[in-house]
Structure 1
């Protein structure tokens, strides 16, 4: 029945409740959160937090752009390249056990304001691979700029890709 005919002018329109099968809907997000919390309750808190961000300067992206285009102008291209690189990272983490054996993981993928994808990954490590001391963490986390003369390629990568200016 029409809301105006009933007399409730504040209730105009049709209410639609999106199911959890619609990616990004409130019910989807709630279900994903509940799933992640169930994993944490069962297996413990995450040990490693990784953020993986799409780089608009990746060669695979820049090679597919016209001279006047930017990566955010081609979401089809940047999303496809990001997904391929994300799948490679996931294989390295979960199949090759790069950080150690992973017992469980969860991830959330989202777009940044510039329109580029990034993903947050939480890893719950097997008991033998959990970092237990600050020394264990320090052995795996580094914030050094490589020596320009000894390793010029790595120096170039770090100084052009990992150092951000002020926001």
Structure 2
């Protein structure tokens, strides 16, 4: 269905080049400016307007809009990722017997859109990170049609994350206390544990040709959070002796993917409210 819609849009644009003023892009000098050096490539072209999503002009426009936000409000403070989980109850309860989530892109897209709007509401209206000056995000689709979104969030000057001590109130890279937050502990163990890779599993998908993890796991233990040199902060990962059995190996805080405790907690409480699961 997506291919049919895309073909219909391209056909619509092809037969309306005069309205798009494609003659402005047909000159020889314009072709040379674009880097064309082969004569056969110079001639009449089909110009894609900015309204064609995914086209070069659309992408350039979005990039310039994002750079204008950075110029106006400063560099982003938070990089946030939300990933679609095919085992979300909202998806599983709508699947037929022996059906898989990747066979229902319509259902997955609708549920993910709802989750995305809930996350935007938490960030913008409830201000879980503080007052937001600007934000941009992009939705990408993984293998099997599962989407995920990346957010870049610029906070107001009064809410800027400057000191490493404030990072710990937003980002955690340690196993939560199972006795205090059992649902959060279950979610982190199931979704936020990397690997194992390296010597524990040399054939993991994250391993490169040099036998090293592309994401640099396991991370070293750290007693406190510190600034990274031109990179992400180095989050606190204390050697407190807590381990968990994941994929036949005992993993500690060095394998935890950084997560936001409040966002995860809000998601779990919303799930409890909708499906009547016990609070925790």
TM > 0.5 between the two?
A: yes
Give, in angstroms, the shift of residue 155 of structure 1: 1.7
RMSD value, Cα = 2.1
Corresponding position: 1:78 with 2:108: yes
1:50-101 alpha-carbon deviations (Å, 9 max, x no partner): 1111111111111111233221211100010000010010011001111000
Flag the 1:150–1:98 CA change in 2: closer, same or farther, 3 A. closer
Distance 1:43 1:152 in 2: 39
Corresponding position: 1:53 with 2:83: yes
Which 10-residue stretch deviates more, 124-133 or 150-159? 150-159
Q: Which residue of 2 aligns with 1:159?
A: 189
| Count of equivalent residues | 159
SS class of match (2:144): coil
Distance 1:117 1:153 in 2: 24
Q: Which has the higher contact order (CA 8 A, sep 6+)?
A: 1
Q: Which residue of 2 aligns with 1:3?
A: none
Whose Rg is larger?
2
Give, in angstroms, the shift of residue 108 of structure 1: 1.0
TM-score relative to the length of structure 2: 0.53
Q: Which residue of 2 aligns with 1:28?
A: 58
Corresponding position: 1:101 with 2:137: no
List alignment gaps of at least 5 residues for structure 1: 1-8
List alignment gaps of at least 5 residues for structure 2: 1-38, 196-203, 206-280
**1:128 counterpart (158, 162, 173):** 158
Distance 1:148 1:122 in 2: 31
Distance 1:20 1:70 in 2: 36
SS class of match (1:122): strand
Distance 1:133 1:149 in 2: 30
Distance 2:57 2:165 in 1: 41
